[in-house]
Amino acid sequence: MTRIVFFDDGLEQLRPLNDLRCAFDIRVGPLTNAERLCTYLQADVGALWVPEAMADLVRDEHDAPVNRLPAGDAPLLLLNARLPMPIEEFARLEPGSALVEAQTDAVIGARLAADQARVLLESGTRPANTITIDQQVLLSRPWHFKTVRDAALDFDLALIADGVAEDGDLPQEVMHIGEHRVIIDSTALVYPGVTLVAEDGPIVIAENATVRPGATIIGPAFIGSGSTVLEHAIIRGHTTIGPVCKVAGEISGCVFQGYANKAHDGFLGDSWIGEWVNLGAGTTNSNLLNTYAEVLCQQMPDGKRERTGETFLGAIVGDHVKTAIQTRLMTGCILYTGSMFAQSAAVAGTIGPFTWATDSGQREYRLSKFLDVMRTVMGRRDVEPSEAYLKRVAVIREETASPVSDS
């Protein structure tokens, strides 16, 4: 079996998506980048090559070797961690060759012997046989989740469906509309009065998920393991709810990384939601400008505005962000890790990490206070942050500290 080495080249500008995870663990559909590629290629993860700042965290969360190659001399398939989808050029990737993205000059993948792989990973030296492709296939900005969202969701749902021979009978008094498949895991609980609309795409409800009475799910859509769709929620098409989330209100075209709550009314559209996020009651976002123009975003708080190629783009919400009741999130806003918003004015633009925002202004979120809240929130899901996780949070906080006073 092919052994894949996922490498994080450190060239991305994906924050806040990858503040607390490497790019191969980012979810742009039901599967993470690594899960999707391994499943498609029927391959195992042989090793993970990451920046040293992330190495301890990755070791905590993965069994594969980190920053060391697997034993043996068998050829390895190196894949960039920012590659979300398989590409047809894989078939042209012969031993001793590499694929390079022309626009960014980044290595997409390479099929190399172990000694060649080590040279590429440690020094960046590429093999002589290099194939350049014009198509941009690597994630390089946080809004690229939207660029690949639909393709990733369709691809993942097809992969999941391939492993399920028959859909089985629907639970009692659950309505199925449309010709596409509805796959409900045997351990999932779908209450009477739920409507599953599969006219435009399939619906998958994963293990131990719960869909409460009166909820409507419109395909294509995925409800992840251990997640709950609350009463009368409307989950519109092109939505992925990752594992152990609780969602309500109207959600359209969103990706939830996992372990997040939107447990009340309010609209959320074309947005990416990180882990351990809590969106207060009535939190609502805009995903379309009044002018219907292309959305411009700043990847960094002090960065230049860039074209996204998107007309519909909501909020990008980093891990551990919290919003108070009736918070309004403007089109294309990016909220960095660990920020808290309790302001009456709409939240707009790109807001840096560990921001404490109220009507009195913006201050820094004191680390000790943040960690107390973080431990409480994670403890509610029986998760204890590791020392590596705590260290990574502290590093992010230190990197972004400024002279303004702490909250």
Confidence of residue 298 (pLDDT cuts 50, 70, 90): very high
- pLDDT given at position 402: 53
Greater confidence (128 vs 141) lies with: 141
- CB contact at 8 A, 231 and 275: no
How many residues are recorded in the chain? 407
Report the share of the chain in percent with pLDDT over 90. 87
CB count, 10 Å around CB of 243?
21
Distance CA 155, CA 85 (A): 9
- pLDDT given at position 90: 85
DSSP class of 274: -
Confidence of residue 166 (pLDDT cuts 50, 70, 90): confident
What domains can you pick out in the chain, each with its CATH number? Answer: 3-140 (3.90.550), 145-399 (2.160.10.10)
- pLDDT given at position 70: 86
Q: Which helix (H) or strand (E) holds 267?
A: strand 267-269
pLDDT digits (tens, 9 = 90+) for 229-280: 999 999 999 999 999 999 999 999 999 999 999 999 999 999 999 999 999 9
Sign of CA dihedral 153, 155, 161, 167: positive
- pLDDT given at position 403: 39
Q: Kindly provide the residue ranges of all beta strands, DSSP E only, lying in 308-398, ordered along the sequence.
A: 316-317, 322-323, 328-329, 334-335, 340-342, 350-351, 355-358, 361-364
The pair of three-digit structure tokens given for residue 74, joined into one six-digit string: 């068998």
> CB-based contacts of 333: which residues, under 8 Å, 6+ apart?
285, 315, 316, 347, 348, 349, 350, 351
Can you name the residues that pair with 246 across neighbouring β-strands? 228, 261
pLDDT digits (tens, 9 = 90+) for 195-223: 999 999 999 999 999 999 999 999 999 99
Taking each helix axis as running N to C, give the angle between helix 367-379 and helix 387-399, from 0 to 180 degrees, rounded to the nearest 10. Answer: 140
Distance CA 373, CA 162 (A): 42
User: What is the DSSP track for 96-145?
Assistant: TEEEEETTTTEEEEEEE-HHHHHHHHHH-PPPSEEEEESS--S--STTHH
pLDDT digits (tens, 9 = 90+) for 318-354: 999 999 999 999 999 999 999 999 999 999 999 999 9
- pLDDT given at position 405: 45
Distance CA 44, CA 18 (A): 23
- pLDDT given at position 401: 60
Nearest to residue 86, comparing CAs of 120, 138, 27, 40?
40
- CB contact at 8 A, 116 and 77: no
Mean pLDDT value across the chain:
94
Q: What is the mean pLDDT of residues 167-173?
A: 84
- pLDDT given at position 73: 75
Q: What is the mean pLDDT of residues 74-95?
A: 91
Nearest to residue 101, comparing CAs of 150, 135, 71?
135
Q: What is the mean pLDDT of residues 125-129?
A: 89
- pLDDT given at position 404: 43
Q: Kindly provide the residue ranges of all beta strands, DSSP E only, lying in 365-405, ordered along the sequence.
A: none
